Structure 1
Amino acid sequence: MSTLSYAGSAIDDSGLLSVMETAAIDAGRVIMEIYAGDFDVLLKGDNSPVTQADKAAEAVILAALRGATPNIPVVAEEEISEGRIPGHLGDRFYLVDPLDGTREFIGRNGDFTVNIALIDCGMPVLGVVYAPARRMLFSGGPDGAREAEVDTEGRPGPYCRIAARACPDRMIAVASRSHRTVETDDYLAGFDIAECVSVGSSLKFCLVARGEADIYPRFGRTMEWDTAAGDAVLRAAGGGTWTTEGTPLVYGKRKQPDGCDFANPFFIARGKWSPAQG
């Protein structure tokens, strides 16, 4: 198990994953308090919606991560949207989406999550996805992937191991509830798909990670904070995420040809599979 050094002391991956889980649950509590009442919806510069829940949850997460590991930079969606972009990231940094699925939050359908991931040399090595409306927590790291229900006091447990399954001949697909594209449908037409389930946020990765689905294609715009936590859980569960060229999805992409830092290419997330399988 690796150890992270900071401020004269150290924390191992298990301890850091616990910090990330607690931060996600605490952020989820703030989100649900706002969800229960009236809230304003604003538009950011890219015309994506944002609410006070996004910003309040991010503040909770940033305080927790910077308090525990002040030497690890944090790339957080709302800070980035306000122009607060970290300089040199180094090999290890966090990616945070405090409220993934803001449209689902606004629509009050429960399909929204808190996403926190640790990136190491371009790979998502630790990840936490928390769905506060469902009180379901998913996390993954070097010791595998697990899930737990969170009680009304914010305590998770008992934990259950989860694992992606080998892709069967007839697959179950998951696709975006709010961002499904013609390209997605065309891609899935090349497979024997028994069912296609529409789900919001990073829960799509979690369904593949727990063996309830087999493939999640995304032919639409995503940012690294949208995918890193779910991708980490899926990789810990034995699956993975690849570009359409068959290379593993990497993180920390800056100075890209289109000029957009941290933007993802189109990708395919799958259970136990390799690109050589087609």
Structure 2
Amino acid sequence: MTSFELTPDLAEKVKRIAVEAGDKIMEIYGQDFTIYDKPDSSPLTEADLAAHHHIVDSLAAISPLPILSEESADIPWSVRKTWVRYWLVDPLDGTKEFIKKNGEFTVNIALIEYGEPTFGVVHAPAINKTYVGQVDVGAYSEVSGVKAAIKASERKAGETWKIVGSRSHQSTEINKILDSLGGENELVAMGSSLKLCLVASGEAHMYPRVGPTSEWDTAAAHAVAIAAGAKVTVLDVNNPFDKDASPLRYNQKDSVLNPYFLVSC
């Protein structure tokens, strides 16, 4: 396999690609845009496609690795299972948030190595905020060119639990998890992969996901979370805080759907 190293220069170029894709999204965001139906009945907009083409073309120009994007996800498992390293892309995560024009959507680019997300960029163009994380190096947020290191934060004794929830998807199973926590809790609503970033930045303590997600929805923010000191594990609703829970992994099977998972410190 072609040798590969994620140098600081390459990491910066990947971040720039995500920001540029966000610029293309914002060009469409303020206009009337066409909405298409995907085979799974979820919405697809012109912005998804514009961001997708920019990211895929730009990554191919700077890296020899294969690319799996939500908008080109028909690569067969017989091919994908041979990948040791690849780029996993969601060109517009939170399409429903984009359509609602609430600003809570992101561009996600992740590097997957041996099933683990090792680097991720999450760019939220409507709020001009970017999260970057590299495992064993660290994580930071960037607003208007100003970087600030981020770190996940454990809940202190007596502190209200801040639990991240979805603005577009809710599940009754969440209540079972909240009841098992004990103490007061506050549900912090957020769209797209920004939910994982809230835990990574210490703005929330936990994000239990008991609804459907695909691997490209989570990978970039997953890398940010790990780099910031959080963990992302497979969630058993009947035993949500299992200390022996397995880490969430990628490209391990034909399906690209994630199991339920928990982001925590």
TM-score of the superposed pair, with normalisation by structure 2: 0.90
Counterpart CA distance in 2 for 1:168 and 1:77 is: 38
CA shift for structure 1 position 185: 2.4
Residue of structure 1 equivalent to 2:38: 44
Alignment of 1:67-216 (within 5 A): 67-70=61-64, 72-80=65-73, 83-85=74-76, 87-88=79-80, 89-141=82-134, 142-150=136-144, 157-169=145-157, 170-191=160-181, 192-216=183-207
Residues 1:55 and 1:204: Cα distance change in structure 2 (over 3 Å): same
**Which of 220, 228, 232 lines up with 2:223 in the alignment?**
232
> Which amino acid counterpart does residue 115 of structure 1 have in structure 2?
N
Counterpart CA distance in 1 for 2:167 and 2:199 is: 16
Alignment of 1:5-44 (within 5 A): 11-44=5-38
Residue of structure 2 equivalent to 1:219: 210
Deviations 1:133-187 (A, max 9, x none): 000000000310001113xxxxxx2211100012334320111110111112221
CA shift for structure 1 position 13: 3.5
CA shift for structure 1 position 66: 0.7
Residues 1:193 and 1:241: Cα distance change in structure 2 (over 3 Å): farther
Counterpart CA distance in 1 for 2:212 and 2:184 is: 24
Residue of structure 2 equivalent to 1:262: 256
Point out 4+ residue stretches in structure 1 off by more than 3 angstroms.
10-13
- Cα-Cα RMSD: 1.6
Aligned partner of residue 170 in structure 2, secondary structure: coil
Aligned partner of residue 220 in structure 1, secondary structure: coil
Residues 1:267 and 1:193: Cα distance change in structure 2 (over 3 Å): farther
Gaps of 5+ in 1: 151-156, 256-260, 273-278
Percent sequence identity over aligned pairs? 42
Aligned partner of residue 112 in structure 2, secondary structure: strand
- How many residue pairs match? The answer is 251
